[in-house]
Amino acid sequence: MLTKRIIPCLDIKEGRVVKGTNFVELKDAGDPVELSKIYNEQGADELVFLDITASYEKRDILIDLVERTAEQVFIPLTVGGGIRTVDDFRKILRAGADKISINTAAVKNPELIKNASEIFGSQCVVVAIDVKRNYIDKDKLESKELGDKNIIKIDNKYCWFEVYIYGGRKGTGIDAINWSKEVEELGAGEILLTSMDADGTKNGYDIPLTKSVSASVKLPVIASGGCGALEHVYDAFEYGKADAALMASILHYREYTIQEIKEYLLKKNIPVRL
């Protein structure tokens, strides 16, 4: 059985790590280079570095920060934010990244997934999918307007999962489950799945979302958004069927170490690398 991965996430704004709730109310959480070094030493399996305002501000990612972060870690480093072209992939990989995460660019130009996968290999291409629940009235379940949306029943309510771009600022009308299948066909190597509803709440990952996407593709799925306790990580693996768990707040604010998380998971018979 493949071991499950624990992945700290560094959301970067203006050169600092930040953390918010539901993608807003951002607070400073530290220096990205220093935090990267700490997580590398604690035994993180990988690290994700996201320049969260680059796409919205239509600017390039902070290359020098990527380089300085890459110098401090000896585990796979995924970098995302403001990446729009194959040449951007090339620049970030040369700066020290092992994988590239794309969200807005993937939605606006799906061929980028295919082209990058063919040039650099699918293992380099991570498609990030930011998702919000879109609730619908029961009497509209048969509406033609819903088209091919995948309707999920959660706590006696009905919803579908909508993809958002530009750092969660703009809905696309795209169904996340359908989009997951499409990015797999285009050659993505992994999906980074973030629940905007759960993000920063510390109430746990969106298990129905994670499970629905995990069951729809053969790609590894990274659960993201909402981790606030050890039990939440277990739930993402056991019930959400995720392959990796991304987390920020509980690590940045020293609530748990990666070692403590992994030891807990081992006791619950979840295979991890110590």
Q: What angle do CA 84, 86, 89 make, to 5 degrees?
A: 80
- The answer to whether the CB of 130 falls within 8 A of the CB of 103 is yes
Q: What mean pLDDT, rounded, does the chain reach? A: 92
Nearest to 1 by CA among 266, 221, 267, 271: 271
- Is 51 marked active-site? no
Residues 237-255: pLDDT tens digits? 999 999 999 999 899 888 9
Tokens describing residue 48: 């994700």
CB-CB neighbours of 40 under 10 Å: 18
β-partners of residue 232 are none
Tokens describing residue 148: 């091919």
Active-site residue (options: 45, 51, 88, 130): 130
Tokens describing residue 232: 């939440």
- Whole-angstrom Cα Rg for the chain: 18
Per-residue model confidence (pLDDT) at position 16:
81
Q: What average pLDDT does this structure show over 267-273?
A: 97
Per-residue model confidence (pLDDT) at position 25:
56
Which pLDDT band, with edges at 50, 70 and 90, does 97 fall under? very high
Residue 140 has pLDDT above 60, yes or no: yes
Q: Do strands 157-165 and 125-136 pair parallel, antiparallel, or not at all (unpaired)?
A: antiparallel
Going by the DSSP 8-state scheme, the letter that residue 244 receives in this structure is E
Domains, the chain, in order of start with CATH, read: 5-131+162-267 (3.20.20.70)
The secondary element (H helix, E strand) that includes residue 13 is: strand 5-13
Q: What angle do CA 51, 106, 98 make, to 5 degrees?
A: 55
Per-residue model confidence (pLDDT) at position 185:
98
CB contact set of 94 (below 8 Å; sequence gap of 6+) = none
Please tell me the distance from the alpha carbon of residue 42 to that of residue 256, in angstroms, as a whole number.
11
Please tell me the distance from the alpha carbon of residue 80 to that of residue 223, in angstroms, as a whole number.
16
Per-residue model confidence (pLDDT) at position 138:
84
Please tell me the distance from the alpha carbon of residue 16 to that of residue 18, in angstroms, as a whole number.
6
Q: Quick one: CA dihedral 127, 152, 4, 40, positive or negative?
A: positive
Which is more confident, 11 or 75?
75
- Is 11 marked active-site? yes
Q: What average pLDDT does this structure show over 186-191?
A: 98
Which pLDDT band, with edges at 50, 70 and 90, does 11 fall under? confident
Please tell me the distance from the alpha carbon of residue 168 to that of residue 271, in angstroms, as a whole number.
33
Q: What angle do CA 70, 73, 74 make, to 5 degrees?
A: 110
Going by the DSSP 8-state scheme, the letter that residue 167 receives in this structure is T
Active-site residue (options: 11, 51, 98, 243): 11
